[in-house]
């Protein structure tokens, strides 16, 4: 352990649900940079919490239990709250199914210790030659959800939003309301949205994908239906909070003027198409020009807003602000 790591107390939070086959190996692989290992048994039918408590002699281990299954997000939040209560500085979240290389914990916490970020997360898509190790369905699903997440969270500089290998500065918990963050599999994406609201800096940490014989509890089909709707809701909330409630800038004008012109042009085009069709007459040149100018001007203003939003990605860690 480096001298700089000794200055911070690091906790690892492991949500446990049907991970009895792998959790012992995961806990046993956690290095000395970690001060506390919190396993949250989310009413696991395999009793993963009791299992690891019986076989592990690691004095850093703490088992917390939910009487009923509340979801992976709820389990992580329980672990976060415990880490904060006992005075931890950093909380690392890993899964109990062995898909995450615990040797990368040092890479995750380093930017937090050096005050370069408030939250770090793994990115399995950084190494192009290793992407082929991922199941094809997961590649397609994660790429699609990554683009949705950029819009909803405002973090245009990150990818792989559903990667659950993360680290957070515990002081952030004083700024965000954990109770408002999703209790289920949308937890990681929803966390990014709430982090943006407090202007926290998020960094991607490149790491290779790890897949073995584990079985995911997440349905890709359900995710691709449910998650986009949740992302849309968060996008609208972020726009309201950031560009109307907290501030009103030229970007706000660009957004609403762009939307108005684009919608006006599209509606006018549809109306004139059917109107001309019913009269069997060509649409007047002046009307076509109006439609074209409205749509092009609207798109230009929307692109201007998008450029502003990308440049507004948080870049100064909260630890340096206060």
In this structure, the answer to whether residues 264 and 226 fall within a common structural domain is: no
In this structure, the answer to whether residues 140 and 198 fall within a common structural domain is: yes
- The tens digit of pLDDT for each residue in 92-136 reads 999 998 889 999 999 999 999 999 999 999 998 877 666 666 667
Tell which residue, 73, 164, 180, 70, has the closest CA to residue 119: 164
pLDDT for the residue numbered 65: 96
pLDDT for the residue numbered 211: 60
Cα 139 from Cα 125, distance rounded (Å): 9
CB 182 within 8 A of CB 194: no
Cα 57 from Cα 70, distance rounded (Å): 28
- The tens digit of pLDDT for each residue in 179-188 reads 999 999 899 9
Q: CATH code at 121?
A: 3.90.550.10
- The residue out of 243, 267, 298 marking a domain boundary is 243
- Terminal alpha carbon distance of the chain: 28
- The residue out of 214, 243, 272 marking a domain boundary is 243
- The residue out of 219, 243, 267 marking a domain boundary is 243
In this structure, the answer to whether residues 113 and 163 fall within a common structural domain is: yes
Tell which residue, 123, 121, 101, has the closest CA to residue 210: 101
In this structure, the answer to whether residues 255 and 206 fall within a common structural domain is: no
In this structure, the answer to whether residues 216 and 260 fall within a common structural domain is: no
> Domain of 195?
3-243
In this structure, the answer to whether residues 117 and 151 fall within a common structural domain is: yes
Phi, psi of 90 (to 5 degrees): -135, 140
Tally of structural domains, the chain: 2
Q: pTM of the entire structure?
A: 0.88
Cα 157 from Cα 190, distance rounded (Å): 16
In this structure, the answer to whether residues 76 and 153 fall within a common structural domain is: yes
Cα 307 from Cα 218, distance rounded (Å): 34
In this structure, the answer to whether residues 212 and 180 fall within a common structural domain is: yes
What average pLDDT does this structure show over 151-156?
A: 94
CB 51 within 8 A of CB 18: no
């Amino acid at each position: 352990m480096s001298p700089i790591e000794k200055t911070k107390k690091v906790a690892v939070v492991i949500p446990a649900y049907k991970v009895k086959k792998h959790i012992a190996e995961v806990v046993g692989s956690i290095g000395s940079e970690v001060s506390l290992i919190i396993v949250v048994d989310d009413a696991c039918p395999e009793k993963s919490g009791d299992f690891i408590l019986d076989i592990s002699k690691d004095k850093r281990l703490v088992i917390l239990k939910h009487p009923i299954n509340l979801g992976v997000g709820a389990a992580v939040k329980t672990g976060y709250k415990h880490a904060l209560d006992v005075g931890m500085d950093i909380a690392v979240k890993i899964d109990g199914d062995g898909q995450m290389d615990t040797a990368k914990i040092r890479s995750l916490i380093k930017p937090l210790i050096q005050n370069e970020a408030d939250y770090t997360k793994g990115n399995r898509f950084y190494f192009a030659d290793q992407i082929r190790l991922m199941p094809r369905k997961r590649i397609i699903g994660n790429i699609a959800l990554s683009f949705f997440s950029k819009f909803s969270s405002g973090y245009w500089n990150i990818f792989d939003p559903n990667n659950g290998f993360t680290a957070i500065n515990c002081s952030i918990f004083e700024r965000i309301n954990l109770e408002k963050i999703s209790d289920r599999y949308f937890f990681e994406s929803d966390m990014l949205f709430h982090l943006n609201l407090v202007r926290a800096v998020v960094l991607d940490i490149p790491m290779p994908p790890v897949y073995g014989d584990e079985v995911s509890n997440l349905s890709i089909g359900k995710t691709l239906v449910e998650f986009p709707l949740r992302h849309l809701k968060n996008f609208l909330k972020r726009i309201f909070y950031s560009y109307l409630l907290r501030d009103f800038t030229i970007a706000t004008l660009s957004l609403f003027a762009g939307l108005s012109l684009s919608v006006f042009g599209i509606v006018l085009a549809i109306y004139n198409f059917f109107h001309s069709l019913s009269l069997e007459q060509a649409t007047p040149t002046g009307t076509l020009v109006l439609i074209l100018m409205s749509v092009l001007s609207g798109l230009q203003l929307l692109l201007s807003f998008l450029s502003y939003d990308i440049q507004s990605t948080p870049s100064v860690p909260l630890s340096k602000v206060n």
